[in-house]
Amino acid sequence: MAQLALTIAGRWARIPLPLQVALVYVLARALTTTMMVLAALQSTSLSRFGADPGLADFVVGWDAQWYWLVAEEGYPSPLPLTASGDVAENAWAFMPVFAYVAKIVGLPFGSWGAGAFVVSFAAGYGACLALHRLLRDRIGRRAALWSVVLFASGPLAAMFQVGYAESLFLLLLFLALDLTTRHRYVWLYALIPVMAFTRPGILAFALYLGLHGILRLVHRRRDPLARREVVHILALGALATVCGFAWQVIAGVVTGDAGAYLATELAWRRNWILGGAEGFIPFEGWIQASQFWFAQWGLPQTGGPILLALLVLGAAAALLYAAPVRTLGADLRLWSASYLLYLLAVFFPQSSTFRLLLPLSPLWGAVAVPRSRVWRIGALVAVLIAQWAWIFAMYARGNTFWQVP
């Protein structure tokens, strides 16, 4: 038995890395597809998808409908209004890159949904390769491959085969992080604008670039910082910041309403807050949401902000002191901190919270660092169970306010 294991390990080691990652990814997608088939079999007339939906229905379900609308009809001008005169939910909340790339790819198939599936599937594989490259010099090839296994099989792995922009954004993000950490800044001038118009989050990358620059300045004796690199970091930070606000400007120009984008985003938040949302105030969303959820759970609302503060402190402590996280290096910890701060500033946590945590996927490296086979297999089992729970809730059920991916 031991000899057989060694033989298998030896043959596996001789397989080129792209093919190893491809085998892992295809197996993970097969497991996800099986779960989605089971979810379809358990869907009822009470579900958003009705009884006996097909996998194609899942591909174009939920927010994929908005990307499809963008690809087919563009963005509304003027903004649609509710009966009460508030800005209604509309396509301005969804960036254009994924929608139009899926449309182009789908032309030979005569279907936007087919294009969306191909883009998500292919970008997911690319993201796996990019994640391995990002992590391998920090935690080793084997741990990096285990990180890919956990990433490809994670609780939100269904995103790799439905019409959401997450796969494409993660591919771009991992490439951008890898280029930054390797000090290959020039390619970022092309990546940053594409990232910015794929999904929200580029302002977090702008903050990360600033922190990256400070880190390099502090360590300039050990890691020399050339003048041209200073120029690149400052210019890229400015570019990311400009791109981060560009969509708001574009929405304002097209609709004639300077606050069009924020009003659109608040249209979703209004469904969760009694009395609606009057305006956007940074960091307010998490406080409101913590009170909302504590009320839903029958707990004192004052406990919500307290729990939120404890979660923030816990995340900060993990990024600063947890040994497995520290093995990832300062840059990936700075990115994680930047993105978490961004979410705290702009997001109202609700059913899609877990999906919005996907840009923290480099932290899978911290889970994969321990070399215990039992630990790694246990982690894989845990994420597969979580994946099934998520798919079952969002696709087999999908009939209450907290079952929206």
Burial class (CB within 10 angstroms; exposed 0-12, middle 13-18, buried 19+) of 116? buried
Number of domains in the chain: 2
pLDDT value at residue 58: 93
Q: Are residues 86 and 230 in the same domain?
A: no
Q: Which of 236, 259, 282 is the last residue of a domain?
A: 259
Domain presence at residue 290? no
For residue 308, give the nearest of 318, 294, 295 by alpha carbon: 294
Residues 35 and 145 both lie in one domain? yes
Of the pLDDT bands very low, low, confident and very high (cuts 50, 70, 90), residue 65 is: very high
Are both 252 and 171 inside the same structural domain? no
Residue 292: predicted pLDDT: 78
Q: Are residues 127 and 75 in the same domain?
A: yes
Q: How confident is the model at residue 276 (pLDDT cuts 50, 70, 90)?
A: low
Regarding whether 238 and 98 lie in a shared domain, the answer is no
Indicate whether 126 and 216 sit together in one domain.
no
Whether 298 has a pLDDT exceeding 80, the answer reads: no
Domain membership flag for residue 51: yes
Within a domain: 32:
yes
Sole residue written with tokens 């690319």:
126
Query: What local confidence, expressed as pLDDT, does residue 96 receive?
Result: 97
- Residue 157 has a pLDDT of 97
Task: Indicate whether 190 belongs to any domain.
Answer: no
Domain shared by 129 and 252, yes or no: no
Distance (Å, whole) CA 250 – CA 158: 31
- How far from each other are the two terminal CA atoms of the chain, in whole angstroms? 44
Q: Out of 244, 259, 274, pick the residue that ends a domain.
A: 259
Residue 275 has what pLDDT? 59
Do 243 and 108 reside in the same domain of the chain?
no
Mean pLDDT of 11-26: 90
Q: Which long-range contacts (CB under 8 A, 24 or more apart) does 293-302 make?
A: 293/349
**Identity at 262, one-letter amino acid code:** L
Q: Do 217 and 113 fall within a single domain?
A: no
Position 174 in a domain: yes
Tokens of 38: 């089971």
Return the structure tokens found at 325: 């996280």
In a domain, 321, yes or no: no
Same domain, 211 and 152: no
Higher-pLDDT residue of 396 and 4 is 396
Q: Which residues does 28 contact at the CB level (< 8 Å), separation at least 6?
A: 149, 152, 153, 157, 160
Note whether 232 and 381 are same-domain residues: no
Segments forming the whole domain that contains residue 248: 200-259
Regarding whether 174 and 32 lie in a shared domain, the answer is yes
| Residue 294 falls inside a structural domain | no
37: confidence class by pLDDT, cuts 50, 70, 90? very high
Residue 235 lies in a domain: yes
Final residue of a structural domain among 238, 259, 280 = 259
pLDDT in tens, 357-381: 999 999 999 999 988 889 999 999 9
